[in-house]
Amino acid sequence: MAKQTIKYVCSQCGAVSLKYQGKCFECQSWGTLEETRILPEPKSRKEGAVAFPGTAPVRLHDALPSEGHRHMTGIGELDRVLGGGLMKASAILVGGEPGIGKSTLMLHLAACLSPAKILYISGEESPNQIRERAQRMQVKADNLWLAPETDLEAILAVIEKEQPALVIVDSIQTVHSTQYQSSPGTLTQIRECASLLIRAAKQQNFILFLIGHITKEGTLAGPKTLEHMVDTVLQFEGEGYQRYRIIRSVKNRYGSTNEIGVFRMEENGLEEVSNPSEFFISGRQTDVAGNSILAAIEGSRAILVEVQALVSNTNYSMPQRISTGFDLKRMSIILAVLEKRLQMETWGQDVFVKIAGGLKLIEPAADLAIAAAVSSGLMNRPLEATAACSAEIGLSGELRAISDSERRIREAAHLGFKSIVLPEANTRSLKPSLKKLPIRIAGCRTLQEALTELGI
Ligand code: TYD
Ligand code: MG
């Protein structure tokens, strides 16, 4: 047996040091080095010889997955973020803040996959707590087995014995192995335990769900290492005190990323929101200045989202710029364009921007909706209530082409909007079927034109 050596691994950046130091030499974080036992690399192929005989290459067309490779969960919004159901032998990491609904979603999933055998390994809650939750949710899952276990070796043994089709580990932070000296929840433990569980999933052909808590900084604990190891990473978003929950796929080897699934937390668990546009624009007030409607693209679908801006005289020497759900730097650029190109001065004003429903907008096409909401708030003039918009804004105040304009137009028309403002580049050659929709498609070249079109 090769001799083990002790090294110190930084839990922030993964740098390896030979001696203990208070401060990581790589990322300069304090107190992040953890003692880790590492087996030396095998000197020759023979010494570290693996049991696998090696895999013969296959032809591209031979390797087409057979039917039945995917397993639909029956929860439409979850299947959507998974890229069309669960893949056999895949490992999925579900991250989110405590209390956001990860365990609840897992129980729904278990009920939907019944009668497949499911093993729920819970290091956080006792079987009775899980039973109580299941009762509250009126979940019926006859073949769901609970194992209150945190020891990795015991978990692997129970999986081997029970041969489940799906294993849920809630949460990976509670699992630890006696092979490593560091305490549960540390990077070494999380990484090594996850890696052995994932290997078991691939070898024994079961689907593995790993639940992970998000740290205060908003990253999955065990910085990024887990994300590389699994096939799919789903992230729960939403505020604890609000009802909606958004599940976003941030990585998916079996489907597109940035797909979202929208849920609502109700008395008896999570309920799907199958028409998110209605949800994101419900409760909006049409006669208030500072509100605009963006036709956004999230993954493979278009969603209408309300953007709100509050612009008011500042009482500070430095005006405040605050935004939730939108990048603050991009907001500053949009304010600068409004000021320089359209002489809309905001230097004496506090500007607050908020995306309704807690959605985070990343795509450039959100620019125009932000500019429109801010201008409307600044001029104290409500925008055209039945108009939606999408466009990227250039620094000269021009509108730049965006992706997927067709889906945006269709969604706005579907929800009864009378007009949609898009960059002119997107409207030059429209399909005849789009022209027949009961919506006016306004192509604009500049921000000025777009704002006029929107009623400013
Ligand atoms: P939970 O799934 O335990 O969160 P996590 O596993 O991510 O920590 O969800 C806990 C929250 O959800 C808790 O605050 C109560 C709420 N909840 C409901 O509102 N309705 C329900 O039916 C359930 C099961 C939970
Ligand atoms: Mg939980």
The answer for residues whose C-beta is within 8 angstroms of residue 170's C-beta and 6 or more apart is 102, 103, 106, 120, 121, 122, 123, 124, 125, 211
> Measured from the CB, is residue 102 less than 6 Å from ligand 1?
yes
pLDDT at 166: 96
The answer for residues whose C-beta is within 8 angstroms of residue 366's C-beta and 6 or more apart is 294, 296, 307, 326, 390
CA distance 266 to 244: 9
pLDDT at 164: 95
Task: Decide: helix, strand or coil at residue 336.
Answer: helix
> Measured from the CB, is residue 265 less than 6 Å from ligand 1?
yes
Given a cut of 90, is residue 3 above it in pLDDT?
no
pLDDT in tens, 390-432: 999 999 999 999 999 999 999 999 999 999 999 999 999 899 9
More confident: 184 or 329: 329
Q: What percent of the chain has pLDDT over 70?
A: 91
Averaging pLDDT over each range in 76-90, 211-225, 396-410, which range is the top one?
Answer: 396-410
Q: How far is the CA of 396 from the centre of ligand 1 (A)?
A: 48
Instruction: Place 57 in a pLDDT band, splitting at 50, 70 and 90.
Output: confident
More confident: 309 or 279: 309
Asked if 408 contacts 277 with a C-beta cutoff of 8 angstroms, the reply is no
Q: How far is the CA of 102 from the centre of ligand 2 (A)?
A: 6
pLDDT at 67: 47
CA distance 200 to 4: 24
* Sign of the Cα pseudo-torsion (40, 42, 47, 48, in order): positive
* Average pLDDT along the chain: 88
pLDDT at 308: 96
For ligand 1, atom 17, which residue shows the shortest CA distance?
Answer: 269
321-338 burial, b if ≥16 CB within 10 A, otherwise e?
A: bebebbeeebbeebbebb
pLDDT in tens, 140-170: 888 999 999 999 999 999 999 999 999 999 9
Given a cut of 90, is residue 71 above it in pLDDT?
no
Given a cut of 60, is residue 442 above it in pLDDT?
yes
The one-letter amino acid code at 154 reads A
Task: Decide: helix, strand or coil at residue 301.
Answer: strand
DSSP 384: P
Question: Mean pLDDT over residues 275-294, rounded?
Answer: 89
> Measured from the CB, is residue 101 less than 6 Å from ligand 1?
yes
> Measured from the CB, is residue 136 less than 6 Å from ligand 1?
yes
> Measured from the CB, is residue 95 less than 6 Å from ligand 1?
no
Given a cut of 60, is residue 42 above it in pLDDT?
no
- Both tokens of 227, joined, read 């994300």
pLDDT at 43: 57
pLDDT at 60: 77
Asked if 90 contacts 210 with a C-beta cutoff of 8 angstroms, the reply is no
Select from 105, 265, 268 the residue to mutate for testing ligand 1; criterion: most ligand atoms less than 8 Å from CB.
265
pLDDT at 144: 93
Please name the residue that has the structure tokens 């079987």.
127
> Measured from the CB, is residue 269 less than 6 Å from ligand 1?
yes
Instruction: Report the interhelical angle of 367-379 vs 447-454 (nearest 10°).
Output: 60
The answer to whether the peptide bond before residue 276 is cis (omega within 30 degrees of 0) is: no
pTM: 0.80
pLDDT at 183: 80
Please write down the HEC assignment for all residues of 409-455: HHHHHHCCCCEEEEEHHHHCCCCHHHHCCCCEEEEECEHHHHHHHHC
Asked if 109 contacts 165 with a C-beta cutoff of 8 angstroms, the reply is no
Q: How far is the CA of 327 from the centre of ligand 2 (A)?
A: 30
Q: What percent of the chain has pLDDT over 90?
A: 60
Bridge partners for 446 per DSSP: 398
> Measured from the CB, is residue 100 less than 6 Å from ligand 1?
yes
> For the residues of 108-164, what is the DSSP string, one character each?
HHHHHHTTS-EEEEESSS-HHHHHHHHHHTT---TTEEEE---BHHHHHHHHHHH--
The answer to whether the peptide bond before residue 171 is cis (omega within 30 degrees of 0) is: yes
Asked if 33 contacts 20 with a C-beta cutoff of 8 angstroms, the reply is yes
pLDDT in tens, 325-359: 999 999 999 999 999 999 999 999 999 999 987 78
For ligand 1, atom 21, which residue shows the shortest CA distance?
Answer: 269
Q: Which ligand is nearest to the CA of 97?
A: 1
Q: How far is the CA of 199 from the centre of ligand 1 (A)?
A: 30
pLDDT at 48: 47
CA distance 130 to 194: 23
- Both tokens of 326, joined, read 């939108």
* Sign of the Cα pseudo-torsion (64, 70, 76, 77, in order): negative
Averaging pLDDT over each range in 219-233, 244-258, 372-386, which range is the top one?
Answer: 372-386
pLDDT at 198: 96
Given a cut of 60, is residue 50 above it in pLDDT?
no
> Measured from the CB, is residue 268 less than 6 Å from ligand 1?
yes
pLDDT at 441: 97
Given a cut of 70, is residue 86 above it in pLDDT?
yes
The answer for residues whose C-beta is within 8 angstroms of residue 243's C-beta and 6 or more apart is 264, 265, 266
Nearest to 351, CA basis, from 325, 367, 370? 370
pLDDT at 157: 96
